[in-house]
A = this chain, B = another copy of it.
Amino acid sequence: VPTIDDVARAAGVGIGTVSRVLNGSPLVSDALRERVLLAIEQLGYRPSPVARAFGRRRTHVLELLVPLFIGPLFLQVLRGIEEALADNGYSLLIHTVQDAADRDHAFEACCARGQSDGALALWMLPPESRLERLLGDGVPMVLLNVSHARVASVGVDHDASARLAVEYCARIGHRRIALVDRPLDVFEPEGTGICERGYRDAMADLGLRVRETYERKAALSQPAGAAALESLAELPERPTAIVAASDEQAIGIVHAARGRGWQVPGDLSVVGYSDSQLADYLGLTTIAAPVREIGREATRLLLDAVATPAAAPRTIYQPSELIVRGTCGSPRP
């Protein structure tokens, strides 16, 4: 494998000149640039990425922390990220995380500066314990679809999304609207819900009764959604509409409701959240999150942070949108 030295020798110039040509410096005469380019071509020379990373103290690699519960949305985010990465020479390193321990490892690894120039974390908060080191080491980092006071983030405003769903249900006539939420930090099931505030505020603003018994918090899975429905179904005055915090949960809810012999949307309306591929296939009414855009914008933000460190953590919201399909209808009188 030819090195920069070989090229310099072949072109009859110093390695400095070759390096300048390689990096598009204007400080090279056309004549020499020509000769260098020729030599590169003839030798089939490719600069070594590791040597470069070593030399310029920049890896041109971004890290991506992916929780497995994200499901099919992953490919969408990935598309957005790659859109922002197109042709700027950056690559993506992936770490999947399955549980809290994985998460801690992954964030820890990001802090250990050197592997990458920055990190993207999807749908997932960094553990508070690692936060100091994380911010201390100055690894640029952007959170996607979750927000945190001290870290930059891009995502939808979950409270606004919940409001959208609740207002829609109210508009088509529902008054008994329940919430099947998900914990803000998926690895912290006892914490606050992600749509909680938006749901309550929207209900109150609409003059609808806010009752604790109408709020459930469930994991991001179909069975969890189904379980939440069963519990809601036992209420003396059961809800006629349910707003879920994910499409998975919503699908579980729909299945369970139909399993009880209820009609959806006849006896129960259900709104999902995210507009995953599944929602489309199954005709689920849902609040769409612009997942691809989130990936793109977050990556742009991160690249900015890599180029210009020390910017204050920004939070950018992308608008969510109601997608009407087949799981909502007016309640039967």
Contacts and interface: CB of A to CB of B under 8 A. Distances in A.
B93 A93 contact: yes
A114 B50 contact: yes
Interface string A96-113: 100000000000000011
Interface stretch (A17-25, A66-74, A158-166, A200-208): A66-74
B54 A50 contact: yes
A82 interface: yes
Q: How many copies, total?
A: 2
Most-contacted residue by chain B among A49, A59, A71 (CB, 10 A): A49
A48 interface: yes
A61 B93 contact: yes
A151 interface: no
Q: Classify chain A's interface size.
A: 35 or more
Interface string A111-134: 011110000000000000000000
A71 B78 contact: no
Nearest to A54: B54
A69 to B, nearest CB: 10
A289 to B, nearest CB: 17
Interface of A: 1, 46, 48-51, 53-54, 59, 61, 64, 68, 70-72, 74-75, 78-79, 82, 91-96, 112-115, 251, 277-278, 281-282
